Chain A
Amino acid sequence: MYAQLVDTGVKRLKTLDEMSEQERAFQAKIDAEIKIEAKNWMPDAYRQTLIRQISQHAHSEIVGMLPEANWVTRAPSLKRKLQLMAKIQDEAGHGLYLYSAMETLGADRDTEISRMHAGKAKYSSIFNYPTLSWADMGAVGWLVDGAAIVNQVVLQRTSYGPYARAMVRICKEESFHQRQGYEMLLTMMRHGTQAQKDMVQDAINRLWWPSLMMFGPSDEHSPNSAQSMAWKIKRQGNDELRQRFVDQTIPQLELLGCTVPDPDLKWNAETGHYDFGDIQWDEFYEVLKGNGPCNQERVATRKQAIEDGAWVREAAVAHARKHHNKNAA
């Protein structure tokens, strides 16, 4: 999940009796699956929660370009390079769809971006891990985008209209990301040298657990889940989505001929699901706190990009002004 631990600012759900008339009418719309649109009345906490979640989601798409950018100049062929650049451009696009959706709530894009740069707004924990080999490009596409799809498919039904519509567009494009990643790994496993096969297994070993962490902590440890679910911002629990991801991914893993670094992983015929081992949540919380392997580097790179682009933005404004004056004359 690209949005983790989104604070709702709500300690406990209000009962219908405790709600104002406006709040009751709002909740009735949500319950009737009527989408909330930008101009509709909404509780302030709903608006703030959405701004936090959508901005975090947008920041994740933007920071998510960086681990992949690491390999553009070293892609093994022109075909792979073009594919990777197309994928990275999609991530930029996803970030922009989401920032636009966020702006419909009255939030300011530059303000939210500077909050991320100041460490006050988060992005997904997964992008704080390094991409050490070319096989990571395949594993990121397959596992990371795969996990994102499981989450985002559900978010297409989220209660806020502009967010839901951005998700529909994003989901269409993510499926290319996942397939290109998997195809890349499959090519290496079927036609590669032993060293290339080892590289694939190594990438999976490093990215497997961080991918499972993307869904966020267990529901009983997610203090904001109840309110987000009641508002239908969130539609399904973290554990349920994580299980769905594991169930759909393991057969693909077996087809690759690879394994995951989890001795407890096994098919459970009784439940019809895969059982898997305990997740190291300490690591997750450390990464969120800013202590992951790449946190500082990621934020520094983003800041630098904004600073380096300042002259381009200034030039664009000067150019627009000049043409405006010429047309007016």
Chain B
Amino acid sequence: MSDWTLFEVFVRSKHGLNHKHVGSVHAADAIMAIENARELYTRRSEGVSLWVVPSALITASSPDDKEPLFDPADDKVYRHASFYELPPEVGHM
């Protein structure tokens, strides 16, 4: 079965929520991947919608790029609402 395409599986657990990655399945094609994913990942009503994507089509950031990609955000505290102190009389904002 290793020669079949590997698909990554994403499940939407409830209406209104994002699809979330849950794992992978091997399948001969995308339709079979949906069927296999249904049997494997939603046997107990875990989902209302499924996505399958061939794993090979996913471009991922490399762990080595973690610092150049994500560190620049660390010193920009002014991007967070909590950075701005307002007097209590303003109330909830």
Contact = CB atoms under 8 A, between A and B. Distances in A.
Interface of A: 37, 39-41, 86, 89-90, 93, 96-97, 100, 103, 108-111, 165-166, 169, 173, 313, 316-317, 319-320, 323-324
Given A37-B63, A39-B60, A166-B23, A110 B43 contact: no
Contacts of A316: 28, 32
Contacts of A89: 39, 43
A97 B23 contact: yes
Interface string B24-57: 1110110110000001100110000000000000
Given A37-B63, A100-B24, A166-B23, A324 B2 contact: no
B40 A109 contact: no
Nearest 3 A/B pairs, CB to CB: A320-B29, A320-B28, A316-B28
Contacts of B60: 39
Contact of B1 (A40, A97, A313): A313
Interface footprint category on B: 20 to 34
Contact of A39 (B4, B6, B24, B62): B62
26 contacts: A39-B62, A39-B63, A40-B63, A86-B43, A89-B43, A93-B43, A97-B23, A100-B23, A103-B6, A109-B2, A109-B26, A110-B2, A111-B2, A166-B23, A169-B23, A173-B44, A313-B1, A313-B28, A316-B28, A316-B32, A317-B4, A319-B29, A320-B28, A320-B29, A320-B31, A323-B31
B28 A319 contact: yes
B21 to A, nearest CB: 10
B1 A110 contact: yes
Given A37-B63, A93-B43, A317 B2 contact: no
Contacts, number: 50
Among B1, B25, B28, B40, the one with the most A-chain Cβ atoms within 10 Å of its Cβ is B28
Contacts of B29: 319-320, 323-324
Interface of A is mostly: helix
Interface of B: 1-4, 6, 22-26, 28-29, 31-32, 39-40, 43-44, 60, 62-63
A108 B28 contact: no
B57 to A, nearest CB: 16
Contacts of B31: 320, 323
A85 B6 CA distance: 27
Contacts of B28: 313, 316-317, 319-320
Nearest to A41: B63
Given A39-B63, A313-B1, A320-B31, 6 more contacts: A39-B62, A89-B43, A96-B25, A109-B26, A110-B1, A166-B23
A39 B65 CA distance: 12
Contacts of A109: 1-2, 26
Nearest to A96: B40
A132 B17 CA distance: 47
Contacts of A41: 63
B2 A108 contact: yes
A317 B22 CA distance: 25
B23 A90 contact: no
A268 B55 CA distance: 54
Contacts of B39: 89, 93
Nearest to B62: A39
